[in-house]
Amino acid sequence: MSGPCCLDPGAKQTHQARGHVEQIGGINTYKTGQGKSAIVIFTDVFGYSFINIQKVADSFAEGVQATVLIPDLFNEDCIDPNTPNLREKMMSILTPWLEKHPVTDACTTGEKFITTIKEQYQSIQVIGTCYGAKIVIHLLAHPQFSSIIKAGVAAHPSFLVKEEATQIKRPILFLCAETDQSFTSDLRQTFEKELSSNGLGTFIEYPGTQHGFLVRPHGSADVSQQRDKSVQDAIQFLKKNL
C-alpha cells in the first residue's frame, strides 16, 4: 500500500505562505482564505506545516474563494521532508511511523475536526493526498459525515480497499498519477467501474506523473505543468460542488 514515492518529497519548492496557524478544536491548523465555505485538506505523511501543501491550500483558497483548513493529523510528529537520503531510508522510517500513526486514528481525527467546524461554514468539502485520501473516502462513506460533506477530492490515494468503492455517497474527483504503486490499475478499475456507473466519480489521469505529484512533483517542466493542471481541475470541481 505504500512505496518509495510516499517518502519522496519531490523537488524543493519555495512559497510565501498566505495563511497562519491557529488551534481549531485543540488541533493546530493551517488556515488560509476567508470564504463562507470550507475546504479541509488531509495531508500525506509530511503533514500540515510542509510548505508544498500550504502552497496548494493557498491556491485552492484563491481559486475557490473558500476558507481552506489543514489540520495537524500527527500531533507535530510528521515525517521531516528534509531528512537526508529519505527515500533510501523508507522502510526504517515509514514502518515504525505508521505504527505510531495508523490511518484509523487519522480518520477519527478527521471526524472530530469536521464535527468542530460544521456549524461555522455554509458548506464543507474535503481533499486528501496519499495517506490523507483514505480519510476522504472514510468520510464520504460514513452515514453521518457524508450528510455533512458535499464532495471530496482524492489525489494519488493510499490504503484504499476495493470494498470502499461501493460505499461512497458523495461526488468525488480522483486525481490519478500515471504511475502509482499505491492506487494500482486493478484497484483503480474497481473504483472507476463502480463510481462511473452511479455517476459519483470523476477520474483524471495526468501523463508522466507518479504517486505524490500534486504535493511533491519532481522538477521537470512537464510534471509541473501536469501538477498545475490538476490544481485547476480540482478548483473547478470544488466550485461546482459548493
Residue 181 placed within a domain: yes
**Coil, helix or strand for 98?**
helix
What is the CATH classification number for the domain harbouring 133? 3.40.50.1820
User: Please, which pLDDT band fits residue 1 given cuts at 50, 70 and 90?
Assistant: very low
At residue 6, does pLDDT exceed 90? Answer: no
15 in any annotated domain: no
Cell digits for 92?
A: 526504517
Residue 234 falls inside a structural domain: yes
Query: pTM for the complete prediction?
Result: 0.95
What is the distance between the alpha carbons of residues 18 and 32, in angstroms, rounded to a whole number?
Answer: 6
Number of domains present in the structure of the chain: 1
Compute the distance between CA of residue 112 and CA of residue 10 in angstroms, rounded to an integer.
31
Residue 13: inside a domain, yes or no?
A: no
Phi, psi dihedrals of residue 139, rounded to the nearest 5° = -70, -40
In a domain, 203, yes or no: yes
Q: Which residues of 137-165 are buried (b: 16+ CB within 10 A; e: fewer)?
A: bbbbbbeebbebbbbbbbbbbbbbeeebb
Q: Which domain holds residue 114?
A: 20-241
Q: Is residue 11 part of a domain?
A: no
Residue 171 has pLDDT above 50, yes or no: yes
Whether 80 and 68 have beta carbons less than 8 Å apart is answered as no
- The reply to whether 4 falls in a domain is no
Given a cut of 60, whether residue 5 has pLDDT beyond it is no
In a domain, 110, yes or no: yes
Q: pLDDT, tens digit, for every residue of 91-150?
A: 788 889 999 999 999 999 999 999 999 999 999 999 999 999 999 999 999 999 999 999
